[in-house]
Amino acid sequence: MKKFSALLFAALLPLASMAPAAHAATDDLAAIQKAGVLRIGTEGTYAPFSFHEQKDNKLVGFDVDIGRAIAKQLGVKAKFVEGKWDGLIAGLNVNRYDVVLNQVGITPEREAKYDFSKPYISSEAALIVRDNNTDIHSFADLKGKRSANTITSNFGKLAQQHGAEVVPVQGFNDAIALLTSGRVDATVNDELSFLDFKKQQPKAKVRVVATDASAEFSRSGVLMRKDQPALKAAIDKAIDAIRADGTYKTISERYFGEDLSSKVQ
């Protein structure tokens, strides 16, 4: 009897050790509301989505304002935790933050490991070259060319799929700097980021020669850990609310000059 009890106890140990983790995995919303803070992972170097103003170094951007608006709907404050793109998503695994808001594209590969909110913005991948480039007219022309991209981003993967050698950078600004200096032939990047860049620097000698509107690259959502149904539902509800009350329109017009809500798929 003692031997049987010991064996039963040993068999139940793994289940017991798993129980707190399983409970924690479904309790992020309650923990966030108890703490009064939604911790948001973001890059901080990706204008116009997440960047620092030169005048006072304040963190601003479309994603930053959307994050603050979502947190307000949840009844908490937004706290941003900055990190480089290539380690940003992995930060969720070690609980550095609760969600990631950094124009993260919704892809099957990511959905296998993480959960997403409903899309909150849609854009296209833009193939950007120097004004005097006469060799690149389409994505197919990237074969054998050098493209500046963050390696693990959707844009970097798209460049690689078309045969480009990806030169690693930390963000959009670094990619444009390499492009304008002639150290790379192109960059595949977010069209909205390019439009914002041209608005700030209209004389920059770069142009878009092609775009890719495939859903894999165009739809972005709030990224969170798997199995957070309450948190996902709350964030989805918050996105609906800020679109309905005009907050989304105000934010998108601030950064892009137009209401982008109708473009969200």
| Domains annotated on the chain, with CATH | 32-121+220-257 (3.40.190.10), 125-212 (3.40.190.10)
Give yes or no for residue 134 having a pLDDT over 60: yes
- What is the predicted pLDDT for the residue at 264? 79
- Name which residue leads in pLDDT, 144 or 4: 144
pLDDT mean over 159-187: 96
CB-CB neighbours of 90 under 10 Å:
13
Q: How far apart are CA 119 and CA 104, in angstroms?
A: 10
Point out which residues pair with 79 in neighbouring strands: 39
Average pLDDT of the chain to the nearest whole number: 87
Is 43 within 8 Å of 37 (Cβ atoms)? Answer: no
- What is the predicted pLDDT for the residue at 257? 78
Tell me which residue has tokens 């608006």. Answer: 69
Per cent of the chain over pLDDT 70 is 88
Q: What is the pLDDT of residues 210-262, one digit of tens each?
A: 998 774 557 899 999 999 999 999 999 999 999 999 999 999 989 887 888 87
Biggest CA pair distance of the chain: 85
- What is the predicted pLDDT for the residue at 13? 43
Find the DSSP H helices in the chain. Answer: 2-25, 28-35, 62-74, 85-88, 108-111, 154-161, 172-180, 191-200, 215-218, 229-244, 247-256
pTM of the complete model:
0.68
Could you tell me how many helices (H) and strands (E) the chain has, helices first? 11, 14
Lowest mean pLDDT among 6-10, 100-104, 187-191: 6-10
Q: What is the pLDDT of residues 38-57, one digit of tens each?
A: 999 999 998 889 999 989 99
Point out which residues pair with 103 in neighbouring strands: none
In 34-46, which positions are buried (b, 16+ CB within 10 angstroms) versus exposed (e)? eeebbbbbbbbbb
> CA separation (Å) from 156 to 139, 142, 145?
12, 12, 13
- What is the predicted pLDDT for the residue at 265? 64
Q: What is the pLDDT of residues 183-218, one digit of tens each?
A: 999 999 988 888 888 878 889 999 999 998 774 557
In 106-127, which positions are buried (b, 16+ CB within 10 angstroms) versus exposed (e)? beeebeeebbbbbbbbbbbbbb
Point out which residues pair with 220 in neighbouring strands: 105, 121
- What is the predicted pLDDT for the residue at 2? 34
Q: Which range scores top for mean pLDDT: 82-91, 132-141, 255-264? A: 132-141
